[in-house]
Amino acid sequence: MELVALFMFVAVIILLLGGFPVAFSLGGTALLFAMAGVLGGGFEPAFLAGLPSRIYGIMVNDTLIAVPLFVFMGITLERARIAEELLETLSSLFGTLRGGLGISVTVVGMLLAASTGIVGATVVTMGLLSLPTMLKRGYAPEISAGTICASGTLGQIIPPSIILVMLGDVISSAYQQAQLAQGNFSPKTVSVGDLFAGALIPGLMLVVLYILYLVVVAWLQPATMPAHHDGSQLRPSIGKVLHAIFAPLFLIFAVLGSILSGIATPTEAAGVGAVGAILIALVRRSISLSRLQEIMRGTLRISSMVFLILIGASIFSLVFRGYGGDDGVRAVLESLPGGVITAMLLVMLVMFLLGFVLDFIEIIFVVVPIVGPVLLTMGLDPVWLGIMIAINLQTSFLTPPFGFALFYLRGVAPPTVSTTQIYRGVIPFIGLQILALVLLAFFPELATWLPAQFYRQ
């Protein structure tokens, strides 16, 4: 029966590669396999009786309410044109430096990631705003494309990231299952706030690595990253700089500060962020009734997609367990030579490869519930595991030839920038991502120290 579960997983991958909708591929394939199993006597129908309670559990999950609120906040900030003002101001501020525009793009990408948490929107926005400017200023296409793709994917790891909200909910459930399997009937919990705190240091470490790389390239190859201007232009005033960075910093401190200080739950903080985004847009007079309708439609579209995928993934995981797939995965991982280290390496490799064909939502809701309890039973820290998964997926989305970030940028890049140049440009940043993963593997405290300070028992 474990082989049937494997065939079901392969069937889903084939359907997704064929372009079928994700949610219906997951749920439909699972139901077809379940029906065939019931008719053939190899599947217990009682498993399907748990389906209504699973769907109801998704509907009443307080943590997942944060998803549409963060999506609303991100889309509102995108429509408020905050990125344009940020990029213009920071590029003028760092303009006398070689590579100053590249550093500005990285910083703006970080701030957008922290205030929107939507990777696709960040890459597209930065591609439309930054790429033509960087090329006009004499930047090499490879450096320009790599910087935009890498900084755009920071939304995967820098909180408040939507991926961390969903990953936190799944990791929490997996952690409780692992503890119950070990005989602990009063299990500890891990929250989205834990993952937010755990992601801060690794996320900022990635930003520092990106900037250091740009500084080194500007020093060794100055022709690829010339100064933004010759210094004759006036630097922006302090007031203009503060006006540009106030909005994203305000939201970052309002959302993260309220979570880490214990004043608000992630869902409540997401509400604060949504209201704050609307207030910023109103103050800047960058929103109208028609634009508000666009924002609400966009929020509804993305949120509906997320929850439909979640329902489809729940059906899939239920049938997968009914066929004993989770027992098969556990047996394989526990029998590997090298124990938990080999198991972790294998899981990370599989997730990395799946990141070429699946979006992070499918991977989180389908793969993590299967492998998470097994790895956590082996003694891994849940926060560390969550951050490792997030950075691994971020690396996958950057890696040619199937990285999603590359597709986003290719869609908005001018014809003068070839796909090969985009691929070459991201390779150094992939190396930096792998370096971050290695550092995190050898020094788990990079992810676990800050949550321990904020959430001491």
Q: pLDDT digit string (tens) for 305-319? A: 888 888 888 888 888
* H/E segment holding residue 139: none
- What's the mean per-residue pLDDT of the chain? 83
pLDDT score, position 95: 63
For residues 126 and 147, give the distance between their C-alpha atoms in angstroms, rounded to a whole number: 10
For residues 454 and 25, give the distance between their C-alpha atoms in angstroms, rounded to a whole number: 41
For residues 170 and 367, give the distance between their C-alpha atoms in angstroms, rounded to a whole number: 10
Helix, strand, or coil (residue 130): helix
For residues 429 and 425, give the distance between their C-alpha atoms in angstroms, rounded to a whole number: 8
pLDDT score, position 233: 56
Instruction: Determine which of 156-170, 177-191, 431-445 has the lowest per-residue pLDDT on average.
Output: 177-191
Express each pLDDT in 37-52 by its tens digit: 888 877 888 878 878 8
Token pair of 160 as six digits: 């408040």
pLDDT score, position 223: 84
pLDDT score, position 338: 82
Total-model pTM: 0.83
pLDDT score, position 445: 93
pLDDT score, position 455: 60
- Which residues, other chains included, contact 343 with Cβ-Cβ below 8 Å and sequence gap of 6+? 333, 334, 336, 374, 375, 378
Closest CA to 332 of 382, 393, 374, 372: 374
Express each pLDDT in 373-392 by its tens digit: 889 988 899 999 999 999 99
Taking 50 as the threshold, does the pLDDT of residue 5 lie above it? yes
Express each pLDDT in 225-281 by its tens digit: 887 655 555 667 777 777 777 777 888 788 888 888 878 888 888 888 888 888 888
pLDDT score, position 120: 67
169-173, 203-207, 253-257: which has the highest mean pLDDT? 203-207
pLDDT score, position 127: 82
pLDDT score, position 457: 44
The CA-based diameter of the chain, rounded to the nearest angstrom, is 80
Domain spans, the chain: 63-316+391-454
The residue written with tokens 């090329």 in the block is: 135
Express each pLDDT in 313-352 by its tens digit: 888 888 888 888 877 887 888 888 888 899 999 999 988 8
For residues 205 and 66, give the distance between their C-alpha atoms in angstroms, rounded to a whole number: 26
Express each pLDDT in 134-155 by its tens digit: 888 888 999 999 999 898 888 7
Which amino acid, one-letter code, is at 16? Answer: L
How many CA atoms, within 13 angstroms, populate the side-chain half-sphere of residue 358? 27
pLDDT score, position 234: 62
Which amino acid, one-letter code, is at 18? Answer: G
The residue written with tokens 């100053």 in the block is: 100
For residues 67 and 164, give the distance between their C-alpha atoms in angstroms, rounded to a whole number: 10
Instruction: Determine which of 37-46, 88-97, 283-292 has the lowest per-residue pLDDT on average.
Output: 88-97
Taking 70 as the threshold, does the pLDDT of residue 286 lie above it? yes
Quick one: pLDDT band at residue 402, thresholds 50, 70, 90? confident
pLDDT score, position 272: 87
Express each pLDDT in 159-170 by its tens digit: 877 788 888 888
Taking 80 as the threshold, does the pLDDT of residue 362 lie above it? no
For residues 84 and 402, give the distance between their C-alpha atoms in angstroms, rounded to a whole number: 29
